[in-house]
Amino acid sequence: MNLDKNGIWTKNAAVITKLFPGLAEQIAGAENATTVPLTLRLEIAADGEPTLVVNGTYVHSKREPAREGARLADAVAGGGASCGVIVALGFGLGYAAAAAAEQCGNSRPVIIVEKHPEILKKAFETRDFTGFLSKNTVAFALGCAEDAIFGALSFFNETKDVCILKNRALVQLDEAWYAGIERRIRTWQTKDAVNEATVKRFGDRWTRNFLKNCAVSDCVCTYPGVSRLKGLLKRDIPLLLVAAGPSLDNTAALLPAFAERCAVIGVDTSLNYLLRSGVDPDWIVSGDPQYWNSRHLDRLGASNTCLITESAIYPPTLHHGARTFLFATPLPLGRQIEEKVDPKGRLGSGGSVATTAFDFCLELEPSVIFIAGLDLSFPHYKTHFKDAFFEKQANAQAARLCPAETRSFRALRDGDPFYSRTANGGRVLTDKRLVLYAAWFENRLFAINSARSQHKVAVYSLSEEGLAINGLQTACAGDILSLPPRGAEIRAFLQSAFITIERDFAAGGKDRMKRRAAMGGHVQG
């Protein structure tokens, strides 16, 4: 080696401090990174390059570690292929990751996943990585990779394919931990397939609904978009999002007290539950275009709730007389018309109405969001909260050979269930579909808490027995109850804001009609 140990570290550290300040902090605390210290030993391989021994196990070749790394990199880098992201599981002394980055140039990102910061520090003390670190296609998910892997993948979201470059010796030392990372990567890879399947499944239904809604209510011109609500809660108004998980039963008695301290958003499946609990939510979010989902909103007309939906929703949903705001429809035809006539504002969709509702929460820009009933799992093997519409339907359709319990069992079984970690450190049954929703939440939480985020918000879950969602903190009922009661003030402010928005929207009605006429007038159903 041409440089001594300290010289190498000084050069690497200068680049890390400049380009990866967060990584520099993690490496600085490497000595305290693990409760059981690793035994690290450097040796010189037969070709004169350093090789690493961790807890008595060689993690690189004892003869030609550089050549071995180049061979492993070539297997996934494909001679510099122009698509896909490479995820290196286990860095060691970085032979394979550095070779992959060199082969790919700037055409493919390389994400380093390493559980132990002290291994990474040892590598930076041993080999010169200044060229590797200076590439703008290199990212790190170190130590807390379960928090960061979705964020790192999202940062390079123009890529769809993921290739895994695995140091088998290091992976075997922490097999369960790296298996969790690989599971999360697979979840990431399925998101596009899920979105494509959703479009294929509901495409015809969305089209029929949209044409009907345009013909009957001229929905694009009639209802303002959620973009007009952006930043509405910047006045330091706390927000409560009520999802529809089984743990919602634990907060039923406290919901009225919560509503006195927070603005309230509910998902469509929780509306009747909220009304029975004495809470008239400020907003209800609905995005499923099917008939049976519209039945969750049967009592919407008896409330003062605003409906947040889209123009391809099942038509009767728009006939309850509720104040309505639209978000951009997933239907390409509808979105094109909306963009020409009146852009509504997009909300994310992770496959669940709870993900869309959470994105709406972020659109309002509150300082804090509390979430009730977000389990994404089956705590105590419950599939839904008590007296949910699903339960009523199951009881109504029950037969001697197919009782309601059979439906619950199938709901638990058919999603490929497995056990995962809860927010309080326990175990809970979940499935692949729910984990995909959790991945969406983790991705959004990482984005809003990143250094690039313009609006940071504290997000807390009231469900400690639900699936652990990295980046989502837990809170108890007392945290909300400690806030000052201001329900009347919040409602008065919202009503005033809605009236102002609707007046401004009505003032632009003639322009919208002209733009619609330029597109051929009414869209006929």
pLDDT in tens, 331-369: 888 989 999 999 999 997 767 899 999 999 999 999 899
For residues 131-146, average pLDDT: 79
- pLDDT value for 136: 80
Which pLDDT score, from 0 to 100, does residue 232 have? 94
Q: What is the pTM of this model?
A: 0.73
Q: How far is CA 289 from CA 11, 203, 205, 209, 426, in A?
A: 57, 10, 7, 7, 36
Q: Which two tokens stand for residue 115?
A: 């559980």
Banded pLDDT at 123 (limits 50, 70, 90): very high
Query: For residue range 389-404, what is the model confidence (pLDDT) as tens digits?
Result: 666 666 667 677 777 6
pLDDT confidence of residue 191? 67
Range 303-309, long-range pairs (CB < 8 A, 24+ positions): 303/271, 303/275, 304/280, 305/266, 305/271, 305/280, 305/281, 306/282, 306/498, 307/283, 308/226, 308/265, 308/283, 308/284, 308/357, 308/360, 309/285
- 1 pLDDT band, cuts 50/70/90, is very low
pLDDT for 5 equals 57
Does residue 389 or residue 81 have the better pLDDT?
389
Q: What is the pLDDT of residue 106?
A: 77
Tell whether the model's pLDDT for residue 292 goes beyond 80. Answer: yes
Provide the pLDDT confidence category of residue 31 given band limits of 50, 70 and 90.
low
Question: What does 292-303 look like in DSSP terms, one character per residue?
Answer: HHHGGGTTGGGS
CA–CA gap between residue 260 and residue 129 (Å, rounded): 56
Q: List, for residues 458-469, the tens digit of each pLDDT value.
A: 999 999 999 998
pLDDT of residue 3: 46
What's the confidence (pLDDT) of residue 235?
Answer: 75
Residue 525: the pLDDT is: 45
| Residue that wins the pLDDT comparison between 285 and 292 | 285
CB 353 within 8 A of CB 268: yes
450 has a pLDDT exceeding 90: no
pLDDT band at 17 (very low <50, low <70, confident <90, very high): confident
DSSP strand E in 257-406: where?
263-267, 283-285, 306-310, 324-327, 368-372
The percentage of the chain sitting over the pLDDT mark of 70, rounded to a whole number, equals: 87
pLDDT at 32 > cutoff 60: no
User: 166 or 146: which carries more pLDDT confidence?
Assistant: 166
DSSP three-state, residue 205:
helix
Q: Average pLDDT in the 135-149 region?
A: 72
- Give the tens place of pLDDT for each residue, 313-334: 999 999 999 999 999 998 888 9
The phi, psi pair for 202, rounded to 5°, reads -105, 5
* 157 contacts 41 by C-beta, under 8 angstroms: no
The answer for residues whose C-beta is within 8 angstroms of residue 452's C-beta and 6 or more apart is: none
Arithmetic mean of pLDDT over the chain: 85
What phi and psi values does residue 378 have, to the nearest 5 degrees? -120, 70
% of the chain at pLDDT higher than 90: 50
Which range scores top for mean pLDDT: 78-87, 147-156, 224-233, 514-523? 224-233
Of residues 29 and 428, more confidence is placed in: 428
The yes-or-no verdict on residue 127 having pLDDT over 90 is yes
Whether pLDDT at 188 is above 90: no
Which of the two residues, 26 and 269, has the higher pLDDT score?
269
Q: pLDDT band for position 87 (50/70/90)?
A: very high
pLDDT in tens, 413-426: 777 788 888 988 89
| pLDDT of 93 strictly over 50 | yes
pLDDT tier at 443 (50, 70, 90 boundaries)?
confident
Question: Tell me, what's the pLDDT at 61?
Answer: 94
Is a pLDDT exceeding 60 seen at residue 13?
yes
2 pLDDT band, cuts 50/70/90, is very low
266 SS3 class:
strand
